Amino acid sequence: MLLHLDSSANRSDESVTRRLTRLFADRWRSDHDSTEYRYRDLAADPVPPIDTAYCQLGRRSEREGVVPLELVGALVENAAEADAWALTEPLITEVLASSTILIGAPLYNFSLPAALKAWIDRITFPGVLALGDTEVVVITSRGGAYGPGTRREGWDYEVPYLRAYFTNYGVRDDNIRFITAELSLAGLVPRLAHLRPLAEQSLADAISSIATGQHATAER
């Protein structure tokens, strides 16, 4: 199954990550001749941030020595915890059922969108997330340039975070891939107009990577 997540706050066709994840999803479904597809728009239908009930249920599970997913419900002690688990279990279940997770994640203030972080926090219930052979493809966009030799080199905290997160939960390093379109603001901001050819080339390279199935980028 392909689990397709968009997290850009901009839900219009101006969103670079939304356009690129749509291209990837269409290609994946064609290549796999598969109807096993689940889409979540984390901006339109946000995952609620974790709360006290979630934390208490998680701590109770850890005190038990970490409880399997299917048995966590038996640990629920009140209505708030029941609500927290009802929100959480379906998200974890669809992650575990996915062979490929596709994430659209624009770079916001040097890191990932809050909507994506809320989803990550909720699926990371103690002891239940083991991703094993799951493939993760992250499509990112950046308003500026963050590559080697640029003024903002090293300021991208999104790609390193997502790599660390998914590999920590079992995704092999060669099974997490990043496709990046840089300088997405060059076509909008007058002072960046001289960078438009570079922006167009970066976007073209991202589209080509999706079309050919060669997802690895310099972030690998």
For residue 3, give the amino acid letter: L
pLDDT at res. 217:
40
Q: What DSSP assignment string belongs to 143-209?
A: SS--STTSTTTT---HHHHHHHHHHHTT--GGGEEEEEE--TTTTT-GGGGGGHHHHHHHHHHHHHH
- How far CA 193 is from CA of 138, 144, 155, in Å, comes to 27, 12, 22
Among 202, 177, 168, 165, which residue's Cα sits nearest to residue 187? Answer: 202
pLDDT at res. 35:
72
Question: Which residues of the chain carry a pLDDT beneath 50?
Answer: 215-220
pLDDT at res. 218:
36
Task: Convert the pLDDT of each residue in 168-188 to its tens digit.
Answer: 999 999 999 999 999 998 988
- The pTM (predicted TM-score) of the whole model is 0.93
| Residues with Cβ within 8 Å of residue 182, at least 6 apart in sequence | 141, 142, 144, 145, 146, 147, 198, 199, 202
Under a CB-based contact definition with an 8 Å cutoff, are residues 126 and 62 in contact?
A: yes
The mean of the pLDDT values for the chain is 94
What is the token pair recorded at 216?
A: 């690895």
Residue 71: DSSP 8-state: G
Summarize the annotated binding site as residue ranges: 141-144
pLDDT at res. 33:
79
Is the domain 2-212 a CATH 3.40.50.360 member? yes
pLDDT at res. 214:
58
10 Å CB burial of residue 124 (0-12, 13-18, 19+) is middle
Taking phi first (over 0 means left), then psi (-120 to 50 degrees means alpha), and beta for anything else, what does residue 154 get?
left
Domain boundaries, the chain: 2-212
pLDDT at res. 202:
93
Summarize the annotated binding site for FMN as residue ranges: 141-144
